[in-house]
Amino acid sequence: MYLEEETSNKSEVISCIFSLKEEVGALARALRLFEEKGINLTHIESRPSRTNKEQYEFFISVDSTCSQALDEIIDGLRAQISGHVHELSRSKHKDRVPWFPNDIQDLDRFANQILSYGSELDSDHPGFTDQVYRARRKEFADIAYHYRHGQAIPRVEYTEEERATWGTVFKELKTLYPTHACREHNRVFPLLEKYCGYTQDNIPQLEDVSRFLQSCTGFRLRPVAGLLSSRDFLAGLAFRVFHSTQYIRHSSKPMYTPEPDICHELLGHVPLFADPSFAQFSQEIGLASLGAPDEYIEKLATVYWFTVEFGLCKQGSEIKAYGAGLLSSFGELQYCLTDKPQLQCFDPDKTSLQKYPITEFQPIYFVAESFEDAKDRVRKFAATVPRPFTVCYNAYTQSIEVLDNTQQLRNLADSINSEMGILCDALRKLE
């Protein structure tokens, strides 16, 4: 049972988990009870029930001042919706470090704690009333739910309609890449066509793409049913693991999706994860998130938004797109390089505080001098995260090493000394 840790002990947080049958409108009826009592939820998560496959569990948190009204809501959930309710409470000492994964297998602990979508869809989703599409989404959600680290990602037989949707997106975006995408994206994309089945009439398999990325930079894909919390998603990047959706957007609107889908992941994210410099930059953001307070997680998530998702960079005398949200959106990829949006230099201290819209084109983009420059700036920004230790990633054991004692520092120094010896030997042989 997962409990969200709060950052302040000034006021206690009351939490509860309730489960509902998977049916249209069930969650909306439950949330209406909170709205009628004037209670604002401070946190909400959803996941398939582990005890009943026909139900979903919802974890919510509210401020302790809502205690009396919450009692009435719990009674309402039990009486009106026939939901099962478990009351919980959780407090946190101010200086306690939030839990974070130490080993790559620890990602199994939170990979299914999605915040939204999965097989459930909001009422404004293009596929909300399409029962065939909703059933298909549940198939993909089940694949992600049962996946564990070390397993091969199950292969999917995509339908003709799904391949047609992919083909429309693939064809339109490919015409813009030569003039709008950064050189790193354009260098890798032909390799994906050659080795991973990137064609207009074929949706690549996540397992094939994951193996390709591992051979390039050590990054790998992991199937996920929907959106993770910022903390959980960023933690995956620290291990060079990218949580990827496997489903595709609804065919009625092939050029629009209210959520990440396989077009966004494979056309937007994957090409850059095959570039060593960008892969290191992405991992730096993930490492900075481990054990960080919630307010810094929000800042790091914002930096991620304006770089990995919607970043621009200078290349020669031109500005090119490297953010996946741009490289997977035909409309915004064109828009971002016009004179309509405002462009600012990438500075994590300022970027981390910038507000942004989610459902419309960005009014502001941040331009990096290069991936190396952006990586250095993020590393300096990470040094400001208030945590009593430093972390580094051990690629041999696929684990996080917490550098909080002299022995750990000696081990790191020995490793660096060995690498420096190899570097010096190589330099001598080049003379």
Active site residues: 264, 269, 309, 328
User: End-to-end distance of the chain based on CA atoms, in angstroms?
Assistant: 60
- Beta carbons of 14 and 66 less than 8 angstroms apart: yes
Q: Which two structure tokens, joined as six digits, stand for 225?
A: 């049913």
- As a whole number of angstroms, the distance between CA 207 and CA 212 comes to 9
Coil vs helix vs strand at 419: helix
- As a whole number of angstroms, the distance between CA 204 and CA 202 comes to 6
Residue with tokens 């999706």: 257
- As a whole number of angstroms, the distance between CA 395 and CA 376 comes to 21
The amino acid that residue 247 corresponds to is Y
Coil vs helix vs strand at 171: helix
In DSSP terms, which residues pair with 366 in a beta bridge? Answer: 344
Coil vs helix vs strand at 259: coil
CA dihedral 145, 146, 147, 152 (to 10 degrees): -140
Closest CA to 85 of 64, 59, 48, 121: 59
Those residues whose C-beta lies under 8 Å from the C-beta of residue 209, and which sit 6 or more positions away, are 192, 196, 221, 266, 270
